[in-house]
Amino acid sequence: MSYFTYAAAQQMLSSLNTRFGLFPLADWRGQPGIILRHDIDLDVQPAHRLSMAESDIGVRGTFFFMTTAQTYNCGSSANRRLIREMANAGHEIALHFDPSIYNEVDPATLGNLARLEAALLEDICGMRIGSVSLHNPSVANNYPMLPGWLNAYDDQIFTPEIYLSDSRMNFRSDPMDFFDEAGDRTHQLLLHPMHYSDEPPLYPRAQLDYLRRMAGELDAIFSPNSTYHERVGDQWYDMLRQDAAAWKKSS
């Protein structure tokens, strides 16, 4: 079964919540149940959409945002509003930390850098940031624990028998079967919001949706410019489509 529509995800999460209990990482005290985690790798908008779908069924989770992402800006006015709405709905806002951008630094310095990033999110959502997940730690096999944080990669909640992810838009096991023992110990479920939509998505649908949104934002930014309006007008998407045909050749 595919769980990558909002309706199917709601059905899955509602069932898991009824059977075992879903909760954000901030609420973890070693109790049985399922930590519901979301890593935001591409864009804020899909995260907001999935968070509202979860709120509609009474589910709360943790949404980990990158302050160093190349594809979205947590501090933009639109994204600040979306993140605040998620926090106000009862979801935990947390840090998706990429230690690789800081090269070789000692653990204490790395912890200070993570805290600086968290301060940006705290200003946005108005709550203390105390949970962290790492961005692509397997690439460099680097899993810093960052003392003082609740870490999604803590050994107590990150081992193959208790951790399930939709990475690469694929669950290695059906979630409804995988979590059979979540009533006895803590498990963790990781979702990536970019994978979910109203209709069954397939790669590269998520990436194309992101490009469409960015194209619309660029058009809106430059439309007030009289020169842009005279030269482009309502031809922006036609021009974009024509130019895109040459992207593969030049990349």
What is the residue whose two structure tokens read 């489509």?
241
Convert the pLDDT of each residue in 69-111 to its tens digit: 999 999 999 999 999 999 999 999 999 999 999 988 999 999 9
List the structure tokens of 209.
Answer: 């949706």
What pLDDT, on the 0 to 100 scale, is given for residue 233? 86
What is the residue whose two structure tokens read 């919001």?
193
Give the residue ranges of DSSP H helices in 1-96: 6-19, 44-56, 77-88
Distance (Å, rounded) from C-alpha 24 to C-alpha 26? 5
Evaluate whether 65 touches 93 at the Cβ level (below 8 Å): yes
Indicate the SS3 state at residue 139. helix
Give the pairing of strands 22-23 and 62-65.
unpaired
Domain boundaries, the chain: 6-195, 205-250
What pLDDT, on the 0 to 100 scale, is given for residue 248? 75
Packing angle, helices 77-88 and 107-125, rounded to 10: 90
User: pTM of the full predicted structure?
Assistant: 0.94
Q: What is the mean pLDDT of the chain?
A: 94
What pLDDT, on the 0 to 100 scale, is given for residue 251? 60
Evaluate whether 33 touches 23 at the Cβ level (below 8 Å): yes
Domain 6-195, CATH number (from 3.20.20.370, 3.40.605.10, 3.40.30.10, 3.30.930.10): 3.20.20.370
In this prediction, the residues of the chain whose per-residue pLDDT falls under 50 are: none
Long-range residue pairs from 79-83, CB within 8 A, at least 24 positions apart, any chain: 79/44, 80/124, 82/44, 82/45, 82/47, 82/48, 83/44, 83/48, 83/121, 83/124, 83/125
Amino acid found at 84: R
Amino acid found at 130: G
Distance (Å, rounded) from C-alpha 3 to C-alpha 16? 13
